[in-house]
Structures are given as structure tokens and as C-alpha cells.
Structure 1
């Protein structure tokens, strides 16, 4: 089975975000990692090829520094990697990213296309759906399970108040949610082996013009301290309700 996985590089999700003088997210001193949702997709793709045979090709839109995310995926067991080089990738909107990815994926003859249902930085949750639309393929979104069954795939996807089970023909697009697979920790040998693998670097086919332009950003305000309501349980509950209604105005 030929599986293509869309990968993104993001700032470590545990990092404290800062803005530069122009209001953009500062990357200075930050640890850049493979996006967690991309990582779920890579792991399940590798597992499927271990079960069924085949190859896993990673595709990433980014600059030269994004090679580290691809090498992490190669260390996890992916076979090949393609870097769609674009120095302006951080300013691209979802439509531009999806168009560039779809253009690169189209000639690869993928049986299955995977990626994260959203990214850990912007959380826009649009790219994989747009890729599926551009390639005219069925989409399983927020997938928590993906199995190859009778030449197709059986997926479980999170929906409001439940889980949706679907059987999709191949080729198809699967957008990974947390729980799809537990990413492995590559061994030192795997990491060293990934460094020797060639990354196919090519210019990104990004369409002209952007549909979305970010005008400004601002950090969330610092959290203020809470309030402890003293007294007997009945009195404390009554006072809490009063505060919620009169001060917080949420009741």
C-alpha cells in the first residue's frame, strides 16, 4: 500500500509563545517539532505498512528548517520524504497550503492520504478537508481508528456526542485525531539512519494571492487569581451563585 502523509512543523506545544515587534509569533530560541497530529498520522501509516506492506511518503510545505520534522518521521519508519520548499510558508492560509500539497500528492498515486485533522499551532482544521476536495476523494475526519478491510478502510471518527463508523473505498483521505495511534520513540539507530536518507526538495506550487491575510495577533491575557468562598456548605453555595449572577454575570 502506498501511503502519503502530510506533515507540518510547529513550535513545541509546551513552549511559551511570544510575539515579535511586528506581531508575528517569534521562533527565536523555540524548539520546533513535528506537529502532534501529523505524528499520529505517521505512526498509523507506518503501522499499516508493517501489517500490509508498502511505503510511507511524507510531504511537508516549509523552508529548509522543516527538514527536521521530516527526519523525525523517517526515523519513525517512513520510507521517503518530500519537502515543498517555500520561504513564505508561515504566512500561507489553509487554501494555499492545501493547493500546494494536493499538487504534489496528485502524481504520487497514493492509495491512502493521511495527516492531522488540525495542527497544534493554528488549529484551523481545514487543510486535510481541502486536500480531499481538491483530489475529489472521500474524507474521514477526526479519525481515532483506521483499519484496512476488504480493499478499503474502516474508520472510526469522533462526532458530537459519539463515534461514527464508516467504510471508505480507496483512495481516501484520513485526518488523524489523538488516539489514532500512540507515536513510537525512534531509537538512536533509527535517528541515525534517518539522517542518511535523502529528502526530495522541490519548489512548492503555491497559487498566487492569499484569501486570508492576518492583520494582527495578540496573546491571551494572563489568568487572574480565583476567589475562595468561605463558610458552611449551604452558605458558600448561595454566595457562589450570587457572585456568578451579580459579578461574573454568567447566570
Structure 2
């Protein structure tokens, strides 16, 4: 049922990694005071992304069973990761292995969709270990997003490039997540702008946020959720930009991009900070 979606994601991941464009390009926003003067640069985090390409040379070689957890999640300390297999919150469906041996750099990809039936999560990490026909481990890779909102699904392919990838015949695919969601809020903030630019295959998010709280804000982070649908229900990847401190009355211009943005059609930016 999800085969076309996964093979598309596999092709997207192939183009991105070959181009060396995985995640953010490291661009940072800037903080400005009320009169518009520059008061310092921010630090930018990176996330794994996928880009668009032709999937004609990708051949399905194996598939995995859908993974649906049945146990209710137990409370976990902040920062502790939990396996999706032991929780009813996340469901992993349509796991599928594909191998591309027809390129200069061979690749193997496990595609899957991760669906969130519970409240928003914190960080989600998909990990795949690839094996050859003799059961020998080839390599392990991962794909990470900052959070998965309630009711949404994440296209979560994990790809491996290089010698030996073309011999992949089996895999192990796991998903772990933090049950502690970021404290996204607009309290004490006024979003002046948040825009998505889709040019030359890249997806760039720029915006401006003002501190209206009356007090300094520490560790302000803008997390940009990029989607492959207008309904903002199928998550493509997340990007982040942050600034250490924002004085009351000052505004901060944030920016981040992925050069692999041809599949992106919409975005939503959420904010978190330490008061």
C-alpha cells in the first residue's frame, strides 16, 4: 500500500546524500534590537533530509513486517529514549529494503513510515543495520527529526552508501523516541514573519520573532517542520536555528535551509525557550 511512497523517499535520499546536502547547510540567523542593529549571530542545528530524484534504477529486494506496539508506554525521565516496539504511541509500517547497484556509488535503503497516535514526541531516531546474504553486517545508519506532532506521520528512510551496499539482502530497522516533547509556545513572543522559499530545488525558511515578554529569553529555538502535503500531516524533515539570548523588545531573524527540498510543499515553525 505504501510502496510508491517508500520508493520515492528512497530516491529522494539517494540524491541528497550523493550531493552531500544532508540536513541544514549551517546558515544562521541574526538577532536585532528594536532599532534594527545587529547584536550577534545564532547557532544552527542540522537534521537529516531527503531530496527528489528518479527511482527507475532502484530494485526492491526484501520487505519487513509492519511493527505495531501493544503495550502502553511507561513514564520516562527527561531525555530518555524509548523503543517504538514497546510503546503503543508510535507505529512503524511498510518497512521495505531496496538496493540500487546501477550507480557509481551503490546504495541500500530501508523505507518506512512512522505514525504517531499519541501526544507530540520529542526527538525521533530511525536506525537501520544492513546485512549481506551471509548474515554479515555491512553498516548502520540513522535518520533523525526534532519531534513528531500528534496525528502526523514521518517518512523515515535510512540509507547506506559505499562498497558492500549493493550486497544488502536483510536488515534490522528500529525507531526510538523521547516521550518528552519540546515546550513549544508563543507566550511572550510575536511572530513577525515565517516564510518558505522553494527555489532551485532548495527549501529555505526565514522568519522574524520578537520578544514581547518584558524579560530576557534564553535559548530561543525555532524548529521548522517541513511537509510533503498542504495539510501538514506527512512530515519530510525538521530544521532548527537558535539564539542564546533575546532581550525584551528585541527581534531575532532566523534562517535555515536544506538543498534537498524539491518534495517540500509547506512548513510550520514552532518556538521553544528557557524563561
TM-score, length-normalised on structure 2? Answer: 0.19
Instruction: Flag the structure with higher strand content.
Output: 2
Instruction: Flag the structure with higher helix content.
Output: 1
TM-score, length-normalised on structure 1? Answer: 0.20
